[in-house]
Amino acid sequence: MSALRSDVAVEPAARVRRPVPRLARLRDFTLIPVIIALGVVGTLVDPSVFLSSDNLVNVLQQQTELSLLVLAESVILISGKFDLSLESTVGLAPAVAMVLILPKSANGIGTMWPMWTAVPVCLLVGALIGAFNGLMILKFRLSAFIVTLGMLITLRGVQNGVTGGNSLSTVPPAFLYLGSKVWLGMPVSVWICALAFVIGIIVLGYFRHGRSVYAIGGNLDAARAAGIRTNRVVWVVLIVGGMLAAFGGLLATGRLGADQASQGSGWIFTVFAACVIGGISLDGGKGTLFGALCGVVALGLINNILTLAGVSANWINAIYGVIILAALVLSRITSGKAQD
Amino acid sequence: MTQPAASTPVVEATGVTKRYGATLALDDAGITIQPGHTHALVGRNGAGKSTLVSILTGLQRADAGELRFAGRPAPPPADRDGWRRIAACVYQKSTIIPTLSVAENLFLNRQSGAGPIGWRSLRAKARDLLAAYEVDVNPEWLAGELTVEQRQRVEIARALSLGAQFVILDEPTAQLEAKAIERLFTSMRQLRRTGVTFLFISHHLQEVFDVCDVVTVFRDARHVLTTPVADITPNALVEAMTGESVAESATHQQRAVAEDAEVVLAAGGLSVAGEYADVDLAVRAGEVVGVAGVGGSGKVALAETLVGLRPQTAGTVDVCGRRTAPGDVASALRAGLGFVPQDRHQQGLVPLLSVAENATLTVTDRLGRGGFISPRRRRATAWQAIDDLAIKTDGPEQPVAGLSGGNAQKVVMARALANQPRALVLISPTVGVDVRSRESLLGVVDTVAEQGTGVLVVSDEIDDLRVCDRVVVLLHGRVHAELPAGWTENQLVAAMEGIES
């Protein structure tokens, strides 16, 4: 029918149509059956371990850092942009905060800033990276893909340069607290991620500025004509994205007790897979954070099941990749629409 | 032309000049629009209409000139809300967000104040607004699923709900079928009675006479004339647009097509489920056959099946006696078919490639051996096309994105003709094309028919069909009538609407 654009007849009878939004809302839940199926598979693979609260909490905690990146990337993708450099921010932001604090003997640079600066500096670095990406993309009109690809390489290089390629294993207590403390039976990081997603869902769903992100990604000219300050909104989105990635890096450093030179490396592929499986369109304007969250959870479960099933470490990536492709096909079938 | 000074004009633009690089888009042009009028703005492609629209809506700033709205100076460029309260525009390009609901589109960027959005009350507000302007659309639908007509109505309602009493309609009828145009005009007349002022832009001069009070003509970036519609004849209007006098519409001379001429394009029992069924058709060499029908009659689907853009569910297509594979454009082209697709932007042109590359896309095999394309031969082929079709371009190397609508369509036509087809299928060949370009495009049809090509013209435009020897009329997906040469406009319209005459 799409080729018949000028031919579309609007007979009164043809106007009675299915209520589209209800279907659209259903699309958010297309992953729920997948997650349930994964739960069943996991139980069959190893009933005693999989359903134990330790294991499930572990799955959640391992996904927290990734989920913050998925949250950031989802909003950026909805606004019609792209950010590959998030994964390098994950490594660099905590590294910068730490080298400013640590003595030279622990691979610091000797400035010995006070401990309390760790968290604010880490977030500030993330914000600055996002702001710089925004400058290149919005002011200089460069392609977001290439800019952030360049930044991905640059930031990783800067991290190696600053730390001399060493991993930083003297971690500030604030990082350790956020990364490994448990509140009410759940790691702090899980609570924080849940809160971040709740805030994200509310802002994108119920606030003018959040909706303008969809408008910008859906039709930039129309958004501008409606009086939305498109550049400003996208800029804020990129800055918030950088901060979320920095925070993800902070949690990872705290959980692992060290910031390795390769922290975050390769994550971005998983992040994109989670976004797309979760129904976020790479063309912008489409998708929900709830869907993206389901995408992260599904990937986490797959990873966990593969480990429990004792799949050889050499094969795990190949199988993981195939399953991601299968999940994409599945969500394509259940949503019934071409993926874009 | 002096206007009665009864009231302050809604819009008063004087001495507006706008330059894009080397091109002068508006040269000391102006327009004065009186409140309550429906004011037409006409001109050929490139006359400066679109530039004026973007200046009147504040999207572009004039380099020089004065702009006053209801006697007050224009708001500063950054004050988008200020502009939106003054002038609203329904652009050719949709300004809705397809992935959001109709309700949200109506209240875009004003869904709420500072607090959270109340979706329930937003939908209720949208429902009231749509009801107030008699737009029969459910606010919960995704805007991307609306038809062109519904989309326009939603955009008009949105414009008026912002408080604007001045609405610019930029070629609103280009993508509408006759009944939808009638409905649009009816609601325009209703709104005019409530004091809404319109600026109406169209290529169809008849519409200007149907719905407008005053007409302004632009030509080559300048204002030519402004006059009440009642005081001007259609021919005078065309003269003002083109700067040349037009002969009374040339009567079409009959082609003599031999009974035994080869059938170059044939359909046998052709059907596409849900579109049309059981169509038999034969076009002989040297013959021009029209296919007409209202929207939803299946005529475009039929044409797209013939050229291989969509596969048939039953039946056969033969080009020059060779059966083509269903849904396979390449096999149709090989058999000797050329075609102009319906949407030149989507299916016709690669905007960033040059005129030469676009014009020769189908004949790259003839420009060199073994996949190699000789630039010299390509340029020569392109120059030939530019001369043959009088394409206005800087040369074969210019990207087609920079051409006006009419010239872009000529490039599509050039490509259709590049492999010297025996059968030519044209789908809506003159949509969005100005009067002169239309004449030259239709002139090409005459020429190729004389040279022995069979042509099938599928169109909504009576003017396009005038070049046809006979016209097949589809109604609800079936052949309803076949009008032999010498048909009249009344007969055609009656047949299309399914009225027995």
Question: What pLDDT was estimated at residue A2?
Answer: 39
Nearest CA in chain A to B78: A227
Cβ contact B110–A208 (<8 Å): yes
B137 with A19: Cβ contact below 8 A: no
- Tell me whether B203 touches chain A (CB under 8 Å): no
Of the residues A2, A4, A7, A203, the best mutation for testing chain B's interface (the one with the most B CB atoms within 10 Å of its CB) is A7
> B344: nearest CA in chain A?
A3
For B176, which residue in chain A has the nearest alpha carbon? Answer: A6
User: Would you call A18 an interface residue with chain B, using a CB distance cutoff of 8 Å?
Assistant: no
Q: Does B134 touch chain A (CB under 8 A)?
A: no
Share above pLDDT 90 across residues of chain A, in percent, rounded to a whole number: 46
pLDDT grade for A27, boundaries at 50, 70 and 90: low
Place of tokens 């051996």: B369
Chain B residue whose CA is closest to A213: B109
Specify the pLDDT at position A15: 41
- Euclidean distance between CA atoms B241 and B222, whole angstroms: 11
Interchain contact A206–B (C-beta under 8 A):
yes
Amino acid, res. B183: R
Q: Tell which of B59, B80, B99, B460 to mutate to test the A interface (max A CBs under 10 Å).
A: B99
Any CB–CB contact under 8 A between A4 and chain B? yes
pLDDT of residue B254: 64
Strand partners, B32: B12
Contact A7 B299 (CB under 8 A): yes
Q: In this predicted structure, what is the pLDDT of residue A334?
A: 62
Query: How high is the pLDDT of residue B416?
Result: 86
pTM > 0.95: yes or no: no
Q: How far is B115 from chain A (nearest CA, A)?
A: 7
ipTM score for this prediction: 0.77
pLDDT at A26: 59
Whether A172 has a pLDDT exceeding 70, the answer reads yes
- The two tokens of residue A182 are 């448990």
**Which are the contacts of B273, defined by CB distance < 8 A and separation ≥ 6?**
B313
Structure-token pair, residue B163:
């408080």
Q: Provide the sign of the torsion angle of the four alpha carbons B69, B71, B75, B80, taken in this order.
A: negative
Alpha carbon of A208: minimum distance to chain B alpha carbons (Å): 6
Q: Is A184 on the interface with B (CB under 8 A)?
A: no
State the nearest Cα–Cα gap between A332 and chain B, in angstroms: 18
Q: Does A15 touch chain B (CB under 8 A)?
A: yes
Contact A21 B301 (CB under 8 A): no
Residue numbers in chain B where pLDDT is lower than 50: 1-5, 247-251, 501
Residue type, A293: L
Residue B418 pLDDT? 83
Contacts of B375 by beta carbon, 8 Å cutoff, 6+ apart:
none
Q: Write down the pLDDT at residue B206.
A: 79
Average pLDDT over residues A80-95: 94
Candidate from A21, A207, A215 with C-beta closest to B140: A21
pLDDT of residue B22: 66
Nearest CA in chain A to B172: A6
Say if residue A56's pLDDT is above 60. yes
Q: Could you tell me if B148 lies within 8 Å of chain A, comparing CB atoms?
A: yes
Residue A196 has a pLDDT of 96
Taking the C-alpha atoms of residue A57 and residue A43, their distance in angstroms, rounded to an integer, is 15
Name the residue with tokens 């025996």: B422
> Could you tell me if residue A208 is left (phi over 0), alpha (psi between -120 and 50 degrees) or otherwise beta?
alpha
Q: Note the pLDDT of residue B345.
A: 73
pLDDT reported for residue A20: 44
pLDDT of residue A3: 39
pLDDT value of residue A10:
37
Angle (nearest 5°) at CA A249 between A245 and A251: 115
Q: Helix axis angle, A230-256 relative to A86-101, nearest 10°?
A: 60
Give residue B150's Cα distance to chain centre. Answer: 17
Nearest to A127 by CA among A254, A276, A298, A242: A242
Task: Sort out which chain B residues have CB atoms less than 8 A from A217's CB and list them.
Answer: 99
What is the per-residue pLDDT for B181?
85
Do residue B142 and residue A9 have CB atoms under 8 angstroms apart?
A: no
Interface with A, mutate which of B93, B100, B146, B276 (most A CBs under 10 A): B100
CA atoms of A22 and B264, how far apart (whole Å) = 50
Nearest CA in chain A to B298: A7
> Residues with Cβ < 8 Å from B2, sequence gap 6 or more?
none
Question: So what's the pLDDT on residue A331?
Answer: 64
Nearest chain A CA: its distance from B501 CA (Å): 23
Give how far A340 is from chain B: nearest CA, Å: 13
On the question of pLDDT at A336 being above 70, the answer is: no
> Token digits for B342?
């319906």
Q: Would you state the pLDDT for residue B249?
A: 42
Q: Which residue has the higher pLDDT, A132 or A165?
A: A132
pLDDT of A68 reads 96
A66-70, A306-310, A335-339 — which is least confidently predicted?
Answer: A335-339
For position A5, what pLDDT does the model report?
A: 36
The pLDDT value recorded for residue A189 is 92
